[in-house]
Structure 1
Amino acid sequence: MTKLACASALIALAAPFGHARDRGQFVNTNADLKAWFDGLRSGKGPCCSDADGSALSDTDWDSKDGHYRVRVPRYGYALEGQMQELVWVDVPEEAVISEPNRVGRTMVWPIYGYMGVTIRCFMPGSMT
């Protein structure tokens, strides 16, 4: 195999993995609640921490026939300060967290990769 083919294969293998980042917005969070968030897992893996998740308003998620979908930014980064387009994404069943929601708000942990956005974890809140 040529060097170019090897390099292409390595890039293709590494590209699907999203990376978590702590933006520091939860520095003053209750320690017990932070530990609870840090321990959350779905069937798709650990949700990482509360810094990776986002709270959703009731208009940005819905449920139909036992399945969820969420509206999240199309890209995981800002485009020159412009508002991002929001897209509806189906939540895989294995991404739904079934334990009680201690914060009460709907939370989503999107992962952005070369094939678009997927959902690693989703915790429904109450639709009001």
Structure 2
Amino acid sequence: MRALLALLVVLVFALDASARDLDGRYANSPLKQWFEGLASKRGLCCSDADGRAVSDVDWESKNGRYRVWLEGAWHDVPEDAVVTEPNRAGKTMVWPVRGSFGLTIICFMPGPMT
């Protein structure tokens, strides 16, 4: 019984640490490899499955800085969270993480404002 419980705990942590493409919908995306290598100065963004697409009205650029509307409030995007390589996805995306200190933006990739 203890061994089964230990195995269950290990599996839960392993699933939590992996990218969240649990249903496999992004497995055949032509941009899968690109997303998996996408990073900001804060680290890897993880994947398309972990990021959120952001509508034009939910982000803005002012004086060279970005901010994004998430969870009912504006959040300033840290300078080191901005992805500087060309946006192959064609849409603005953000990779937020909620932790004990609140919401943190790991990566932000601006798209074209239309």
Q: TM-score range by the shorter chain?
A: 0.7 to 0.9
Identity of aligned residues (%): 56
TM-score normalised over the length of structure 1: 0.70
Q: Which amino acid aligns with 1:106?
A: T
* Partner of residue 38, structure 1: 36
Q: Distance in 1 between matches of 2:21 and 2:29?
A: 17
Change (3 A) 1:44 1:103: same
Preserved contact between residue 26 and residue 50 of structure 1 (Cα < 8 Å): no
Change (3 A) 1:43 1:60: same
Q: Secondary structure at the match of 2:32?
A: helix
* Partner of residue 66, structure 1: 64
Aligned length: 99
Q: CA RMSD in A?
A: 2.0
* Partner of residue 109, structure 1: 95
5 Å matches for 1:1-128?
Answer: 21-24=19-22, 27-28=25-26, 30-73=28-71, 86-128=72-114
Q: Distance in 1 between matches of 2:110 and 2:22?
A: 24
Preserved contact between residue 26 and residue 48 of structure 2 (Cα < 8 Å): no
TM-score normalised over the length of structure 2: 0.78
Q: Distance in 2 between matches of 1:24 and 1:56?
A: 22
Q: Distance in 2 between matches of 1:126 and 1:26?
A: 28
Q: Distance in 2 between matches of 1:92 and 1:25?
A: 31
Higher relative contact order (CA 8 A, sep 6+): 1
- When structure 1 is superposed on structure 2, of 35-44 and 23-32 the one drifting more is 23-32
Q: Distance in 2 between matches of 1:119 and 1:105?
A: 17
> Which sections of structure 2, spanning at least 5 residues, go unmatched?
1-16
Question: Where do 4+ consecutive residues of structure 1 move more than 6 Å?
Answer: none
